[in-house]
Chain A
Amino acid sequence: MAQIKMINVQKFFGQNQVLQDLNLTIEDGEFVVFVGQSGGGKTTALRAIAGLETITSGKILIDGVEVQDRKAADRDIAFVFQSFSLYPHMTVRENITFPLRAVRMDKTARDKAVNETAEILQITEHLDRKPSSLSGGDMQRVAIGRALVRRPQALLMDEPLGVLDSKLREQMRSELKRLHIARGSTSVYVTHDQIEAMSLADQMVILHDGVLQQVGAPDDVYLKPKNLFVAKFVGSPVMNVADVQINGSEVTMKGVDTGFTFDESTLASLAKYDTEITLGLRPEAILLSQARTKGYTQAVTTNIEPLGSHDIVDVRLGDTVLRVRTESGFVSGEGQPVWVGLDTTQAHFFDKKTELNLRGAA
């Protein structure tokens, strides 16, 4: 088990900077998830920790020891790859045994470790089969088994569930969580699926274009996004954003005659920024009412997505379409007039230029 630290890590591929000033500490036993869009540098960061990619500058420490110049073999880390999972010419047992042969473990200890791992992952009955005859889920289990069997300092996983269908993914997700709790190994997990990230992570690390956007517990990241990218990336449906004008305690969206009333003090703190403001609202921060209500603005529904447990209703307010989360059946159809209000405590204000969240403390 180990603590992993990245200090000022930079990585260039030719002219292309893929990691920029990456500073990150992964505590011993933590489950850390890297998320971000494709090409964000998640895989590269993971490969740098594993020693499969040399970094251009900066330091990587494992338990306080600098390892950036060490070979992968000497870092005692296991890796589950994004695209590759198993050697086709070896049976499942041989695949799982393979890492143990490298460290010249004796045969009895080896067999014991393999059987234990197989049991935990429920793949004992497949041990003598070839990978090609396994289902996708079992293949991923074996791939994870390969990584776990050596009891490495840290376990790095690059979208290990990426190829599975959503149902199996959900099941494997909870298995991974259970495994992590049982083993307590430091784990770094990469995914571009923010729901997977939130359900697994102790700490989420959001990367975009090689720049670290935010590190924090899933709740933190969801409730207090540091900038517009994080705000829009985390959460589904995506956060509503609209350019707004602030007059005293009124916040008005562009192209709407009436505004929303906010607490004076909240808006006063924004005034000092003297820049254009973007308002960010999660679907649950918007309230709908069938009847005229004080402080609410009239709007029209344009689309309804019934999702069973709740509905997502699109309402048109001037030029802006807002996606709102309501209880199911709250709105009966499209083209209906509704009254829209805000839960002002859940509203986010972003600087339109820097995209930073201006309601820093909130």
Chain B
Amino acid sequence: MAGVRTSREKWGNRIAIATVFVALIIMLTPIYWITATAFKPRNLATTIPPTVVFTPEVSPFVKLFTKRSQLRDQPTQKEYDAAPWWEQMVFDGGEKVVRNRKTGEVRPSGYADRFKNSLIIAITSTLLAVSMGTLTAYGFSRFKVRGEDDWMFFILSTRMLPPVVVAIPMFLMYRVVGLNDTHLGLIILYTAFNLSFAVWIMKGFIDEIPKEYEEAALVDGYTRMQAFFKVVLPEALTGMAATAVFCFITAWNEYAFALIMTTRKAQTSPPFIPSQIGSGLPDWTVIAAGTFLFLIPVAVFTFLLRNHLLRGMSFGAIRK
């Protein structure tokens, strides 16, 4: 943007910056609020007016990962002193950590397992959707497929129905074949979910890769498979990264099916976190802590792929 700027352009620029600023505030406030609440003592989480200045503590995270029960009697001073620092925090909150009667081991809350389930299911289904989507898109892009446009429309049309509509029949079918509450069950669902999207996005990217890339390799003596892996894939990586981010976010955040299809063994974080509200007064700090941790993988994943993502998003708009 070199050269002379008129005052009108300057004002336009200022308005643009102000708009971005307002948008940022609107979008970042909930994230700030979740983060702040995740580090608050319980009694400051729901004050009116809201507490902004407080001493952060990690007790919500301790509570998030452990099973607790209400204190009937205050612990004796000796019991209190003998407890490790994190258990003291739970005592301070009027609760106690549940331990195994015989071994004295701390009983975990189940959040860690749910988090692990989320990771396994989201990562596997993303890998599957992106790789299957890329291969399908390659086929559609490079070979004469009879009724190509109709097929592509058909693939897209699988996304036109809100998925929840089929939740009950899916649930019944899953129960018959024994996929309820299994990792595989959710992986299949999320892969199927993301596949049509992956095919469409990847078709766009692969169409942009000149077919001469592979033809040159074919003439040089490579097989089509080798040509695909050696020259198409490196060029398609950017698109695959962008697709992977979207697929991962969808699978990671999915709530409705996870709630219906899983109960314990394969349950993911999204249905687990609100289940902690339970009866009685909810402990918002624990919920916030769970949510806060839940945000991190997507943030990390997106951050790692950010260069690809930026290039991916502007693909086609700016060529070279």
Contacts and interface: CB of A to CB of B under 8 A. Distances in A.
Interface in B71-130: none
B213 A84 contact: yes
A50 B219 CA distance: 7
A102 B215 contact: no
A99 B215 contact: no
Nearest to B233: A89
Interface stretch (B188-196, B220-228, B278-286, B303-311): B220-228
B234 interface: yes
Interface in B201-215: 210, 212-213, 215
A226 to B, nearest CB: 33
Nearest to A150: B220
B223 A81 contact: no
Contact of B212 (A51, A77, A84, A150): A84
A87 B213 contact: yes
Given A73-B223, A89-B235, A83 B210 contact: yes
A52 B221 contact: no
Contact of B216 (A75, A84, A89, A103): A84
Interface string A100-128: 00110000000000000000000000000
B218 A72 contact: yes
A102 B221 contact: yes
A99 B216 CA distance: 9
Interface in A52-99: 52, 71-73, 75, 77-79, 81, 83-84, 87-89, 98-99
A75 B221 CA distance: 9
A50 B220 CA distance: 10
Contacts of A98: 217, 220, 230
Given A87-B231, A89-B234, A89-B235, A81 B212 contact: yes
B219 A77 contact: yes
Contacts of A103: 221
Nearest to A86: B216
Contact of B221 (A73, A83, A87): A73
Given A83-B210, A84-B210, A72 B215 contact: yes
A79 B215 CA distance: 9
A89 B311 CA distance: 15
Given A83-B210, A83-B212, A87-B213, A102 B234 contact: no
B219 A73 contact: yes
Nearest to A143: B216
A169 to B, nearest CB: 21
Contacts of B220: 73, 78, 98-99, 102, 150
B136 to A, nearest CB: 23
Q: Is the interface of B mostly helix, strand, loop or mixed?
A: helix
A149 to B, nearest CB: 10
A79 B216 contact: yes
A72 B235 contact: no
A73 B222 contact: yes
A71 B223 CA distance: 9
A79 B221 contact: no
A75 B220 CA distance: 9
A16 to B, nearest CB: 15
Contacts of B219: 50-52, 72-73, 75, 77-79
B30 to A, nearest CB: 40
Interface in B224-244: 226, 230-231, 234-235
B232 to A, nearest CB: 11
Contact of B222 (A50, A102, A146): A102
Interface string A42-56: 000000001110000
Contacts of A146: 216
Contacts of A77: 219
A24 B280 CA distance: 91
Interface in A145-167: 146, 150
A327 B221 CA distance: 54
A83 B235 CA distance: 17
Nearest to A84: B212
Nearest to B231: A87
Contact of A52 (B215, B223, B230): B215
B218 A99 contact: no
A88 B209 CA distance: 11
Contacts of A50: 219
List of 9 A-B pairs having minimum Cβ-Cβ separation, nearest first:
A84-B212, A102-B221, A99-B220, A73-B221, A79-B219, A89-B234, A81-B212, A72-B218, A72-B219
14 contacts: A51-B219, A52-B215, A52-B218, A72-B219, A73-B220, A73-B223, A78-B220, A79-B219, A81-B212, A84-B210, A87-B231, A89-B234, A102-B221, A146-B216
Given A72-B219, A84-B213, A98-B220, 10 more contacts: A51-B219, A73-B218, A73-B220, A73-B222, A73-B223, A81-B216, A83-B210, A84-B216, A99-B220, A102-B226
